[in-house]
Structure 1
Amino acid sequence: ETGDGAGLNLNATGGGLHESGILVPDGVIGAEYLDMKRSHDESSLVKCASMPHRDPYHGHSVDPRPSREPPKETFNLMVVGEAGLGKTTLLESFFKSFRDDDAATALFERKETQKVIATRRLLEEAATHRDTCERELKKAAETGEYAIAEARQVEITRLSNEMLELGEQLKILSAQDERRRNELHALRETTRALRMEMKRAADQQIFRLAAERKVEAAVLQSEVEAEKAELKAMRHRDDSRLFRSAADEEEEERSLAP
């Protein structure tokens, strides 16, 4: 308990006993404090509303949303598993159910082209085949089957050279794929920035500048759509269908569906 110097003893809950013997109910702690608390809360709300929000998918700040929109929660989600199980399709369905266009687009940007997937699969198959040949070589050498051992040795050399070529090809394809995805991401970010400038200019009634930004954003958006269509085509080429499983076919069809 504390004394306020005016004949009132206050407890931790804001109530107290007056010197006249009247019990002050909890929560009644003075009009001055209530006014100070109200002004402090209002200033905190204004400060929070004016602070830029952090984009969890691209790591940059965006302008605050209007206060009438409900607050959004962020969380981390990780899906693990072997290739061809439909992990990407699961995540796309998950983000679509939440109507999270930013997350769905970011997921699309991270998807690899079919050439990269097919080359990586060939590399993994060659590595598995080489491991099998090495075990057979060891077994044949132990049992004295030297003809089989020599054949396996030749096969191991061929597979090793093939793996080196596939590894170099995979590096080149991955670099090209990464460069295309970065270009698409940069176009999207530039388009978003132009739209934000358009909205700010419209709010400030600078309509000429808003109209210019609207035209520029529309031009860049057409480039974004063209880039996305080309990336989709690269992920759905006929020359890579020989390396695709039924699960991959089904996943790609669902991802291309409107």
Structure 2
Amino acid sequence: MSGTLYGISLGPGDPGLITRAAWAQLERVDAVWVYPARSGKTPSYAFDIVQRAGLAPPTEHTQLLFPMTHDGEKLARAWLRAAETVLPWLRAGRDVLFLVEGDASTYATFGHLARTVRALDAGVGVQVIAGVNAFTAACASVDVPFAEQDDTVAIVPAAYGVSAVDRLLPDFDTLVLMKVKPLLDELIGWLERRDLLAGSHFIERVGAPDERRFSGDQILQLRGTKVSYLSLLIVKHPHRIRGERIKGCLKKGGPQPVLEESA
């Protein structure tokens, strides 16, 4: 029988956010670990998380290279090489644990690897161990609710562009902009023009020892600087900051809370 390919979610950086289910898998001595790296010179962030957790790797473990590119052909070749690396273990009945920062089902390489493996061998089982997303951990880090009551939320890769993000703003209470590094200066300009800085938070490498957080006008300090690929922006709609959403939901004649308007 073939082994199972596991997507092991590790959370975004803090080893304390590794779930008990993921931890139990990582303590196995009979499984193989594989983990993504962007290049041979760049260490695997996922592997760094488990090392900081004090978990010892099994005898067999290796990194898989996934280049930072939008070139479909290059990515397909990388996924194929990765699948061909893990298939011999799986066909020998070994379970393979693919270590993933954040959650394995959310903007993760694991989905591409799993589909490629299944295309090559439909008999291989796949299982995902769910984990903490970077954006929920980031909201906790800056003490901002991700969503309340009937809030609407949009999670968007910033690569879609500022104009696309701007069109989403009227329809959502919270925007989570992922992978903001290439467009950060442009996004900062947009936040200024739309008077959104007061409800915005930039979080880099959330949960890691070198985590950085900038809120409100502090975000302006980032203009022209280099930031990590593992960065995101949380943008709250202005009506949330001013309390207009709460006022609109009150029943007529009901008790009226005292709301302080932001300056």
Q: Do the two structures share a fold, i.e. TM-score over 0.5?
A: no
Q: Which is strand-richer, 1 or 2?
A: 2
Normalized per residue, the structure richer in helix is 1
Higher RCO (CA 8 Å, separation ≥ 6 residues): 2
TM (norm. structure 2) is 0.23
Larger Rg belongs to = 1
